[in-house]
Structure 1
Amino acid sequence: MDLHDYLRILRRNWVLVVATTMAGLLIGGAASILVQPTYKAHTQLFVAIQSSGSVQEMQQGNTFSQARVQSYVKTIRTPVVLQPAIDALGLSLTTDELAKKVEAETELNTVLISISVTDTSPVQAAAIAEAVSNSLIKAVETLEKPKTGGASPIGLSIITPAQAPTSPSAPNTRLNLIAGLLGGAILGLGGALLRTKLDDRVRGEADFRDITDVPLLGGITFDQDATKKPLLTQARHQSPRAESFRQLRTNLQFANVSGSAKTVLVTSSLPGEGKTTTSTNLAIALAQAGQSVCLVDGDLRRPMVGEYLGLDRNAGLTTALLGQTDVGDLLQPWGDDNLYVLTSGQIPPNPSELLGSTEMSHVLTRLEETFDTVIIDAPPLLPVTDAAVLSQHVGGVLLVVGAQKVQRSDLAKSLNALEMVGANLLGVVLNRLPVKGPDAYAYSYYSHDENVLSNAENGVQRMPVSKETRRGQKEHPATYELSQRSS
């Protein structure tokens, strides 16, 4: 994956990343609030030789002191030093418990000993540090005292008295917040990568391109109103949904520039991807461009075209295949354009056999001789074999891919199924794409309302449309549209 892939993953899962980051920040803040504050008091001692002499003797004494300092640091956390400090302050602690609060260290090549004591009370932390320092001075004096008598050659003195700290040493609120913020962000990014790795759905064009290089003829944006108003004629003329189908119509014409595919089969991998609405609206868009179009409901298991268009489906394709009525008498006109619909007819017990029969081939030949384009709404590819069988009788296949609906593995199976039967796959239509975000189809438009508002705000008057232009739009809509796009 390159940088663009990571950015797309981040845009897809930004809610998860932001949520985990904020959760980490809250946890860091809660930890700072709930943890009892502790204070650390410091004191420092100097180790010296209790004798005077020549310079050489003083250097030897200094070296001797540095060697002894490491032993004194280890001695600080032993009962010899800690028990007198406990007795002096009257603490209800054992030497082991007090040893956990005391830290001692020395810097290399020095005779300085630093003692730190941590406690929940700043005053008590300073008192313990002072008591431990005094106890260490006495302990060293006793331990280093010669057996033959006399004073100890080593002397310790406090050079930095312990003072009660004014601010707690822990918890470090700033550090906790930064750690929580970074931890939450890392957890969110990891979750986003894992979620993307486990998510096998086709979300947009990028996922589709990872599977195949089949031409992408168009993308249909998801419209909540489409569930109640699925037809192209029910949408605003310059709405994103309407413009998407007009773009699909134009791209389909270029994909079939030779005109060999007069019959186009529209199918999908699974039910619910929007193949019926796509085939119906594509037929309407082609008819609006001036073509004579026949829309055939080839889904003989769950026919929906008649329901969408409000037509009777009791007599239709199955009636013609059984030879009961001529196909010309079964066509039902729809709308103001040159669009005719052949509904499914009665649902048969053997759909695959009827769709693969010689009679089906004859019916399609009759329709191709009469109409400029024949659009067939077929069943999905994976549940049944109807679409694969029917694809051998048509000039081209249009595969509808429902974003967020179909798995990548299912799409790969559908493409392999079409390849196995030698179908002419004209291209793919991505349906149910989001309007915004990383998976939105790369397409922009200007609606009529937005143009009116923009022109009104800027004081721009719209140019009047001539009678010749209006006449060209009505008489040759397809030619006019293509000329306008090329210009």
Structure 2
Amino acid sequence: MDPKASGLGQGGQVNDSYAVPPILKQYWHTALRWRWLIGAIIAGALAVGLVVTLLTPARYTADSQIEISREQKKITNVEGLDSSTADSDMEFYETQYALLRSYSLGERVARKLDLGRSDDFFAAHGITLDAGRFGAAGQSNLTAGQLAAREKLATKLLLDNIEVSPVRRSRLVNLSYTSRSAGLSARVVNAWASQFIAASMDRQLASTADARRFLEERLGNLRARLEQSEREAVGYASRNDIVALASVRDNEGKTQVQRTMIQSDLEELNTALNVARADRVAAESRLTGRGGDDNVDALTNPTITQLRQKRADVASDYAKMIVRFEPNYPTAQALMMQIKSLDEAIARETARVGNSRAQSYREALKREQDLGAQVAALKGRLDDQQHNAIQYNIYQREADTNRQLYDALLQRYKEIGIAGSVGVSNIVVVDPATAPSTPSAPSLPKNMALAFVIGLALAVIATLALEQIDEGISQPGQIQQLFQLPLLGHVPLTDSSVTDGIEDPKSYFSEAYFTIRSNLAFTTDHGLPRSFIVTSTQPAEGKSTTSYALARIIGRTGKNVLLIDGDMRSPDIHHLLGLDNAMGLSNALAGDDNVAALIQSTPYKGLSVLTSGPKPPSAAELLSSDRIRHIVGELQGMYDHVIIDAPPILGLSDSPLLGRAVEGAVLVIQAEGAAVRGVRAAISRLRMVNTHIFGTVLTKIKASELAYGYGYGYGYGYGDDVEHKAA
């Protein structure tokens, strides 16, 4: 046989044919192992789901939708008086959602619909009221305590059955209420929306009232501060002779004084001084200018002008007279006398005008000096006033600031009064609820799907728990993974007898042991071991069957095989072959040197048997001597192979003692029987006495394990219709 087919390579190394399958296949294998349990759990869950669905009263869900706009509350427009921080949109809407689920809103709805007195409301939620605590059904004269208890219970029921579902990325919120009454569900959800709007407006009005009270208090304080600051500004101006003739307010509301009385007087006096100075210069110029008739004053003086005109007329007459008469002519002399008289009058008038210029100069000079003194005095007063104006401006700025704050708060106070009287809500109902025509629960498809999921989950949990609790070995690949030992083969569980299974070379049973024999041939350099024991962890794992089957299979190949029943405590080989057990191994160990006489022949080719013999007082005591070595050595000279059916390892010392006398051991492990820790303990005991373990044989594998066993059973019973046990 090909070594690879046996699961062993040269030197007894395991190849990949018995490797642990992928994790998904392991899960599938586990599911197949526990398929009846899984099916039962899922079927039970579906049955429970069906019963619950059929017994659950119908429930109706009414839906409504509202829109919540972002509020922008602001008490004042003045920097420093408003809140310095504003909630983000997320915080605002999370607050609104919490308010929609608040206990106070539930109380409002319960009182609005008078649910405390409604027996139908409690019946719609499957609640039977305790007459002592809540009053009897239909009782009209409830006590205050009973009514309060009913309202509290109604509020709790409302909160338990209302559902608030915000619509993502929008300002919309869906409200749903579920009860056994379609009409009640619609009334409650509509009342929930309307009472939420009313509660929001109440909070807004309360906030407006608080703001008005706050502003009234602030306005009173600012009014007092404004009056005080204005009094201080006016008092300071009065004490320091600061009289403002013109003042204006700039864009920031600050008072700007453009002119004071001193500034106005100084401007007027300075203008008069300039005029006086010009008059004095003109008078001085006239005073120091040339005299005579060409003098400007003389030329412009009306008297002198008249006298000169009259003289010119007389002189003209005199000139005409001289042309005809002599100067001594009386008329001519009279004209001459008149001319002289006029010249004297002109001279006198001119002299008088000159004296008048000096007087005018002196008057102009005095007026200039007086005005200069007044201007100098006003400049001093203005300088003092400008120094005092610094403090005055401080008082004035404080008064302006207080007035600005007062005016702003007064305006905001008026706006809040108007807004409070309008009562505009930022919440509107988009879709009011109507009574649903079909129940929302129970839903048979949903409940059955949920029951299936729950049943599947319970089945998975139960299966995994049982897998963890079950320490048995169910998969051939686990042998190498858990114990690092070669797997020589695995034997299916059959309901036929051992002898019948071995007799049929095409049976699963026979094919399995032929494979084990083939794999065992690769465990040593010289082929099949000359001598070995077949043992197990605990009784009833199939070690006797395995030793018998291997002896039969090896004998068929033409080898002389001796099968020794080494289990002197509970022998079984003589039962399998129908032999007498009066004499056997125990006699040889006790001192009978004629071992050959103790061996019995069988009708099977190449097979001889040494039964266990009479049960000794202490089998371990017999095996602990060196006689077993001599007996095995002697028998190896007589037979090609010596196979010993050894007792189970745990709790007994027989198998380790027998293992010292042979080349090695074959460990039989029952599928889903022996615990992992027990197998490890058995392996450890064999290795403690330096017994080489050729490999393991996994026995009693169910047909289902072979059918879904990842190919381990491929070829067993090929072309055969032999039926085998499935469980």
User: Which residue of structure 2 lines up, in the alignment, with residue 16 of structure 1?
Assistant: 37
For residues 86-165 of structure 1, the aligned pairs below 5 Å read: 86=114, 94-96=150-152, 97=154, 99-100=158-159, 116-129=176-189, 153-154=423-424, 160-165=431-436
User: Which residue of structure 2 lines up, in the alignment, with residue 456 of structure 1?
Assistant: none
User: Which residue of structure 1 lines up, in the alignment, with residue 601 of structure 2?
Assistant: 333
Rounded to whole Å, the distance in 1 between the matches of 2:46 and 2:120 is 38
Q: Per the alignment, in what secondary structure is the counterpart of residue 200 of structure 1?
A: coil
Rounded to whole Å, the distance in 2 between the matches of 1:79 and 1:336 is 95
1:38 matched to 2:53? The reply is no
Q: Is the 8 A contact 2:65 2:429 kept in 1?
A: yes
Q: Is the 8 A contact 1:298 1:377 kept in 2?
A: yes
Q: Is the 8 A contact 2:105 2:192 kept in 1?
A: no
Rounded to whole Å, the distance in 1 between the matches of 2:116 and 2:588 is 110
Choose between structure 1 and 2: higher helix proportion.
2
The residue identity in structure 2 corresponding to 1:21 is I
Higher deviation after alignment, 370-379 or 315-324: 315-324
Deviation at 1:127, TM superposition (A): 4.4
Deviation at 1:135, TM superposition (A): 7.4
Rounded to whole Å, the distance in 1 between the matches of 2:605 and 2:68 is 106
Rounded to whole Å, the distance in 2 between the matches of 1:316 and 1:125 is 91
Deviation at 1:377, TM superposition (A): 1.0
Rounded to whole Å, the distance in 1 between the matches of 2:657 and 2:712 is 34
Rounded to whole Å, the distance in 2 between the matches of 1:441 and 1:347 is 44
Q: Per the alignment, in what secondary structure is the counterpart of residue 650 of structure 2?
A: coil
Higher deviation after alignment, 167-176 or 398-407: 167-176
Rounded to whole Å, the distance in 2 between the matches of 1:210 and 1:346 is 41
Q: Is the 8 A contact 1:400 1:430 kept in 2?
A: yes
Q: Is the 8 A contact 2:502 2:509 kept in 1?
A: no
Q: Is the 8 A contact 1:82 1:132 kept in 2?
A: no
1:199 matched to 2:475? The reply is no
User: Which residue of structure 2 lines up, in the alignment, with residue 56 of structure 1?
Assistant: none
Match of 1:414 among 682, 707, 721: 682
Rounded to whole Å, the distance in 2 between the matches of 1:415 and 1:359 is 25
Q: How big is the alpha-carbon RMSD for the aligned residues of Structure 1 and Structure 2?
A: 3.9
1:364 matched to 2:424? The reply is no
1:178 matched to 2:238? The reply is no
Count of residues in correspondence between the two structures? 432
For residues 380-459 of structure 1, the aligned pairs below 5 Å read: 380-437=648-705, 442-445=712-715, 447=717, 450=720
Deviation at 1:193, TM superposition (A): 2.3
Q: Is the 8 A contact 1:298 1:378 kept in 2?
A: yes
Rounded to whole Å, the distance in 1 between the matches of 2:116 and 2:694 is 94
Rounded to whole Å, the distance in 1 between the matches of 2:550 and 2:597 is 24
Match of 1:311 among 560, 575, 579: 579
Residues 119, 359 of structure 1: CA spacing in aligned structure 2 closer, same or farther, 3 A cutoff? closer
The residue identity in structure 2 corresponding to 1:444 is Y
Higher deviation after alignment, 145-154 or 208-217: 145-154
Higher Cα radius of gyration: 2
User: Which residue of structure 2 lines up, in the alignment, with residue 287 of structure 1?
Assistant: 555
Residues 91, 403 of structure 1: CA spacing in aligned structure 2 closer, same or farther, 3 A cutoff? closer
Deviation at 1:43, TM superposition (A): 4.3
Q: Is the 8 A contact 1:85 1:135 kept in 2?
A: no
Match of 1:83 among 107, 111, 122: 111
Q: Which runs of 5+ in 2 are unaligned?
A: 1-21, 70-88, 122-149, 210-416, 723-727
For residues 202-351 of structure 1, the aligned pairs below 5 Å read: 202-225=473-496, 229-231=497-499, 235-259=503-527, 261-324=529-592, 326-351=594-619
The residue identity in structure 1 corresponding to 2:43 is M
Residues 309, 134 of structure 1: CA spacing in aligned structure 2 closer, same or farther, 3 A cutoff? closer
User: Which residue of structure 2 lines up, in the alignment, with residue 355 of structure 1?
Assistant: 623
Q: Which runs of 5+ in 1 are unaligned?
A: 49-65, 453-487
User: Which residue of structure 1 lines up, in the alignment, with residue 49 of structure 2?
Assistant: 28
Q: Percent identity?
A: 27
Deviation at 1:160, TM superposition (A): 4.0
Rounded to whole Å, the distance in 1 between the matches of 2:116 and 2:29 is 67
Q: Per the alignment, in what secondary structure is the counterpart of residue 398 of structure 1?
A: strand
Rounded to whole Å, the distance in 1 between the matches of 2:613 and 2:116 is 104
The residue identity in structure 2 corresponding to 1:223 is T
The residue identity in structure 2 corresponding to 1:24 is A
Rounded to whole Å, the distance in 2 between the matches of 1:279 and 1:117 is 75
The C-alpha deviation readout for 1:194-245, integer Å capped at 9, x for no partner, is 22222222223133223222221121111122xxx22256653211001111
Deviation at 1:104, TM superposition (A): 6.7
Report the TM-score when normalising by structure 2. 0.52
Q: Per the alignment, in what secondary structure is the counterpart of residue 456 of structure 2?
A: helix
Q: Is the 8 A contact 1:40 1:169 kept in 2?
A: yes
Q: Is the 8 A contact 1:300 1:348 kept in 2?
A: yes
The C-alpha deviation readout for 1:364-400, integer Å capped at 9, x for no partner, is 2221111111111111111211111111111221111
The residue identity in structure 2 corresponding to 1:345 is G
Deviation at 1:22, TM superposition (A): 3.4
